[in-house]
Structure 1
Amino acid sequence: MNHTPSHWLRPSEAVRELMRKGAEIAQTLPQAWIERLDQALFASPEDAKLLDDPVVLAACRRVNRAELLHWANANLQRPGEPVEPYVSADLVDTARELARRGLPELLMNIARSTQNAAWESWMQMAFSLTHDPVLLEEFLKVSLRSISEFIDSNMRVVSQILLKEKSLHPHEDAVDKRSLVTRLLDGRDVDTEQFGKRLGYSLFQKHRAWLVWSEVADTETQHLEALARALAHLTGTAAPLIVFAGPATLWVWTHAAKPLDLYRLQSVARQFPNMRTAIGSQGAGVNGFRQSHLEALTTQQLMGRLAGAPAVATIDQVRMVSLMTQDARAARQFVVNTLGRLTTEPSIFQRSLHAFLANGCHITQTAEALGTHRNTLLRRLERAQQLLPVPLADHRIQIAAALELLIWDTPLIDDEKLSRRRAGA
């Protein structure tokens, strides 16, 4: 069957072979290509500001990889022929989210930036495939047309989906809980009592805002909601305000009836893999409702940028880490000078000592918080102190700060794997 429309001239056999070879390379998702595609998501300051949202950023990255693979596979099968649109669930969800935020044009900006990045990688590869100027010229023309029309067709399909949804649900936003909360967050004058009744949540109390999200595709919303309710229960809140804010993201507010127990919160969060929580500080009334949410957003943004950020973090932790990482080189030197050989050991030793210091140097309390036997914890602490270049008793504050920096900036990896890797080295 001929898939080529009449306006699309079939490339020469030599160019078709080059397209096939290039597609084989693209199929492997070269690291340099992926880095270029990821960097394209920050092509303008407006894009970068929005993509501070880790959920949207992760979805955009998945979309880029999926589209590249689809285009490459199509050219492997039918080199140089038109590529059918590929609109994934991630792409549609992201488009919906940008539309809800009043930024539908940003999706087109991202698509164009991605197209440019893909073209740069493809063009750079082209010069390694042939040095024949005539063949190269035809190859680049065919490639550019293929990439451009593929991206354009994807955007057309997405636009049609959004227009159809809007026509089917023209008044949905007017009664949506998120729309009500957004009016509060935007600082508009509202009838506080009436809004509270419509939301089923008192705005006159002391609040704490939470963001619960996942950067993993196909995360089910009910699992996010289960985590939100479990965390709220630990704060003494029976009926938290939960707002479905976007793809795999919840906005949550609880009554700030009692102080947070971060280790208990982290223990609950471990039961929900691949989900994360950012927490604002306590605030009263409508202003506290807004301010705590903004702090939770700030916390989420830093958690999205640092590889070792915990599954649950508070604005207080973020403030300290943010200040200490403003000069990355100085921060790294501080960590190395303070922790010495402990920086290169399995993370279990670092995290055990960090938990010990965070729990006021109480062994039993730390063991309970970590879910570790007391004797096991003592052995780990002894080993950690042997690795330190300075005495723990005289430098507790500096060591705690250095450990906080190290843990936030280091991905948590399986210590058994690390041990096996070292044994085989």
Structure 2
Amino acid sequence: MRKGAELAQTLPREWIDRLNQSLFSLTEDAKLLDDPVILAALRRANRSELLHWANANLQRPGEPVEPYVSADMVDTARELARRGGAELLMNLARATQNAAWDLWMKMAFSLTQDPVVLEEFLEISLRSISEFINSNIRVMMQIILEEKNTQAHDDPIDKRSLVDRLLDGRDVEMEQFGRRLGYSLFQKHRGCLVWSEIPDADIRLLEEMARALAHLTGTTAPLIVFAGPATLWVWCVAAKPLDLNLLQGLARQFPNVRAAIGSPGAGMNGFRQSHFEALATQKLIGRLTGAPAVATIDQVRMVSLMTQDVRAARQFVLNTLGRLSTAPMVLQHSLHAFLVNGCNITLTAEVLGTHRNTLLRRLERAQDLLPVQFSDHRIHIAAALELAIWSSPVDSGE
């Protein structure tokens, strides 16, 4: 048990990957996992619970392990209870338990070949893992029951419930709802989502980001709704177009905060549609590792379509970019910027803040790596680069 616990304590990469993959083994209510805040909390829980169980077995091998539910998992349980996703949380715990048992059982055969010892070891291990997961589930169920009781006694008329009614497509009296929300529904809106995937996120930073976004759209009084433990829904008056450069400046100003922005839309339909576009943008940002911290629906439409079939998208990138697909990201970014700026060397160098001669060398290197003729396949190359950049971690290496 100690030897196995020592290995588990190192949090092997393949173990963490397998536990995280188990989150997607369920089909029912899987849309809740499109929320990157919830998904990040569940991934953190996998790491922290494995570490807690391993440390306990290092100190007292085979003895009962105290339940462990982190603070942000408490918030996640409450949020899932509000969304009617309590059963999903229980099912995910079982899926994680099955994955953990598979990993532990395979590891057990490397520790001993003695059938008597192995049988006893697996029996004790199964009991330890099962009882630990069961005790965690009991804690989570108590949290969920308390949240449901709280909801039953809360005033049902708050901003979140009012907005939910609007988003559900119900017929409402717009002027009356606007007065209650303190926000006119007759104007042209731009829906935004602001969130953080780090534990213990400061909600004040999210609010500051929301107001800064609203300022860029020409709004002084946005509608801000608390939609989760680290998520805000925001609606702004679409008084002026968004400046993408200023948006990226916000991303640098709030490094641990992310934002997704829908397109402008008028009236009730625009209120709903822009919000749903922001949700779709958030889903993509949370799924692709190279996505910027702040993005609009217009920036993600093509990438979203291209990633509906992940395997086909990967093959398209490989076929189109060849060796450039695995080259340093600086080469991909340089060629992408060159295409975006109309193949204008001077303009591209200015945008990238790069010397003209440095840019020319990078472009030459990038084109040499392509398996296709650059001049004949510019559109395909631009699309493949867009997809590659969004799907890869940032790498500034030469």
- In the superposition, the TM-score normalised over structure 2's length comes to 0.90
Quick one: which amino acid aligns to residue 378 of structure 1?
R
Q: Does 1:193 align with 2:175?
A: yes
1:91 is aligned to 2:73: yes
Find the counterpart in structure 2 of residue 409 from structure 1: 391
Spell out, residue by residue over 1:305-356, the C-alpha distance to the aligned partner (whole angstroms, 9 max, x if none): 2121111222223221133345556544554565566544433343344345
The answer to whether the 8 A contact 2:29-2:85 is kept is no
Distance 2:362 2:373 in 1: 11
When structure 1 is superposed on structure 2, of 308-317 and 95-104 the one drifting more is 308-317
Alignment pair present for 1:255 and 2:237:
yes
1:24-423 counterparts in 2 under 5 A? 24-167=6-149, 170-172=152-154, 174-326=156-308, 328=310, 331-332=313-314, 334-335=316-317, 339=321, 342-359=324-341, 372=353, 376-387=354-365, 388-389=367-368, 396-413=378-395, 415=396, 418-419=397-398
Query: 2:56, 2:65 within 8 Å by CA — same for their partners in 1?
Result: yes
Higher alpha-carbon deviation: 334-343 or 297-306: 334-343
Unaligned runs of 5+ residues in structure 2 are: none
**Which segment drifts farther, 390-399 or 125-134?**
390-399
Note closer, same or farther for the CA distance 1:213–1:369 as it changes in structure 2 (3 Å cut).
farther
Looking at structure 1, the residues matched to 11 and 98 of structure 2 have their Cα atoms a distance apart, in angstroms, of 16
User: What SS class does the counterpart of residue 128 from structure 1 fall into?
Assistant: coil
Amino acid in structure 2 at the alignment position of 1:205 = Q
Corresponding residue number in structure 2 for 1:13: none
* Secondary structure of residue in 2 paired with 1:45: coil
Task: Give the Cα separation in 1 of the matches to 2:177 and 2:113.
Answer: 68
| Distance change in 2, residues 1:338/1:351 (3 Å) | same
Question: How far 1:276 sits from its partner (Å)?
Answer: 1.7
Q: 5+ unaligned residues in a row in structure 1: which ranges?
A: 1-18, 420-425
Distance 2:323 2:129 in 1: 50
Query: Take 1:366 and 1:223, find their aligned partners in 2: how far apart are those partners?
Result: 34
Partner of 1:9: none
Partners in 2 of 1:331 and 1:167 — Cα distance?
Answer: 46
* More displaced stretch, 115-124 vs 163-172: 163-172
Per-residue deviation at 1:171? 3.3
Cα shift readout 1:216-241 (whole Å, capped 9, x = no counterpart) = 22221111111121122111111111
1:7-26 matches, within 5 Å, as: 19-26=1-8
**Identity within the alignment, %:** 73
8 Å CA contact 1:263–1:369 kept in 2: the answer is no
Deviations 1:353-385 (A, max 9, x none): 434544556778766765x3xxx2524431232
Which secondary structure does the structure 2 equivalent of 1:129 belong to? Answer: coil
> Residues 166-195 of structure 1: CA distance to partner in whole angstroms, max 9, x if unpaired?
545643361331111111111122221111
Q: Does the 8 A contact of 1:60 with 1:90 survive in 2?
A: no
Distance across 2 between alignment mates of 1:272 and 1:161: 32
Q: Which moved more, 1:310-319 or 1:60-69?
A: 310-319
Counting matched residue pairs gives 394
How many angstroms apart in 1 are the aligned matches of 2:355 and 2:159?
Answer: 47
Alignment partners' CA distance in 2, 1:247 and 1:363: 46
In the aligned structure 2, how far is the partner of 1:340 from the partner of 1:139? Answer: 49
Name the SS for the 1:260 alignment partner: coil
Which stretch of structure 1 is more off in the superposition, 191-200 or 128-137?
128-137
Between the aligned partners of 2:330 and 2:67, the Cα distance in structure 1 is 47
- Higher mean C-alpha deviation, range 398-407 or range 322-331: 322-331
Distance 2:217 2:373 in 1: 37
The structural deviation recorded for 1:61 is 0.7
**Distance change (3 Å), C-alpha of 1:195 and 1:368:** farther
Answer whether contact 1:349 1:383 (CA < 8 A) is retained: no
In structure 1, C-alpha distance between the alignment counterparts of 2:8 and 2:382, rounded to whole Å: 45
Alpha-carbon separation, structure 1, partners of 2:253 and 2:183: 27
The CA distance in 2 between the partners of 1:166 and 1:334, in whole Å, is 48
Change (3 A) 1:32 1:333: closer
Q: Contact between 2:76 and 2:229, CA under 8 Å: does it hold in 1?
A: yes
Partners of 1:404 and 1:382 lie apart in 2 by 20
TM-score with structure 1 length normalisation?
0.85
